[in-house]
């Protein structure tokens, strides 16, 4: 079936340093893995064209640096985002504990009416033979916040494509809902103005 609509979508991928954000994005966009990635300095942008529910979607994925000194800089890129991928390293408990701070930083940058914002959490590096965060811990954290969770491996490509397609679907649904609400509000305002004019006459 041919696509009938086209949407540009800005997605941000955030999390602590060395959780594998750049590697995940490189795996998803370029289907490759490089053993030694340099730390992202500030922000990097990659794009990918996909189809979601008969809609042509151009994903613009902003890869943000996780270093503390870049937090103020990268937070300026949260505005205008349509969805967010929160990332942690299953072998690093501290990276899991920082998820709440990253999530709050995104929510605080949004308008009040955008509090129902699409998030997906990725627990990366499941290919390693040890871990500090269990699946149950991560799932419980996400379930409490109504966020979908994927355990992934940038190295092996496990569940990476599914995870990014999920955030694209969630974001597309949110964009469509916001448009519907805008149209309904516009109709409601118009009807109110018509009634007021009639009363005046």
* DSSP annotation string for 49-113: EEEETTEEEEEEEEEE--SGGGHHHHGGGSTT-SEEEEEEETT-HHHHHTHHHHHHHHHHTS-GG
pTM, entire model = 0.82
**Would you call 179 helix, strand, or coil by DSSP?**
helix
How many percent of the chain have pLDDT more than 70?
75
**Would you call 14 helix, strand, or coil by DSSP?**
strand
How many percent of the chain have pLDDT more than 90?
58
- pLDDT, residue 201, reads 45
Return d(Cα 49, Cα 87) in angstroms, integer. Answer: 22
Written as six digits, the tokens of 32 are 């490759």
pLDDT in tens, 30-64: 999 887 756 555 578 899 999 998 899 999 999 87
**CA 42, 44, 47: angle at the middle one, nearest 5?**
160
For the chain, domains (ranges, CATH) are 5-200 (3.40.50.300)
Q: Closest Cα partner for 85 from 174, 175, 166?
A: 166
Return d(Cα 32, Cα 126) in angstroms, integer. Answer: 17
Torsion (CA) 104, 110, 111, 112 in degrees, nearest 10: -20
Torsion (CA) 13, 169, 97, 46 in degrees, nearest 10: -10
Which residue has tokens 């997605």?
Answer: 11
160-200 and 21-30 are packed helices; what angle lies between their axes, rounded to 10 degrees?
Answer: 90
């Amino acid at each position: 079936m041919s696509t009938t609509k086209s949407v540009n979508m800005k997605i941000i991928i955030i999390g602590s340093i060395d959780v594998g954000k750049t590697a995940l994005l490189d795996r998803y966009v370029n289907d490759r893995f490089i053993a030694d990635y340099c730390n992202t300095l500030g922000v990097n942008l990659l794009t990918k064209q996909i189809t979601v529910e008969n809609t042509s979607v151009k994903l613009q994925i902003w890869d943000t640096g996780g270093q503390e000194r870049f937090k103020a800089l990268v937070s300026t890129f949260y505005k205008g985002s349509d969805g967010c991928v929160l990332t942690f390293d299953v072998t690093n408990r501290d990276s899991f504990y920082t998820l709440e701070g990253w999530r709050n930083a995104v929510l605080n940058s949004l308008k009040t009416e955008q509090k129902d914002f699409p998030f997906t959490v990725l627990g990366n590096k499941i290919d390693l033979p040890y871990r500090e965060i269990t699946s149950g811990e991560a799932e419980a954290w996400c379930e409490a916040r109504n966020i979908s969770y994927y355990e992934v491996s940038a190295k092996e490509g496990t569940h990476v494509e599914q995870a990014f397609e999920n955030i694209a679907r969630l974001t597309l649904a949110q964009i469509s809902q916001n448009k519907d609400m805008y149209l309904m509000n516009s109709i409601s305002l118009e009807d109110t103005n018509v009634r007021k004019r009639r009363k005046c006459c």
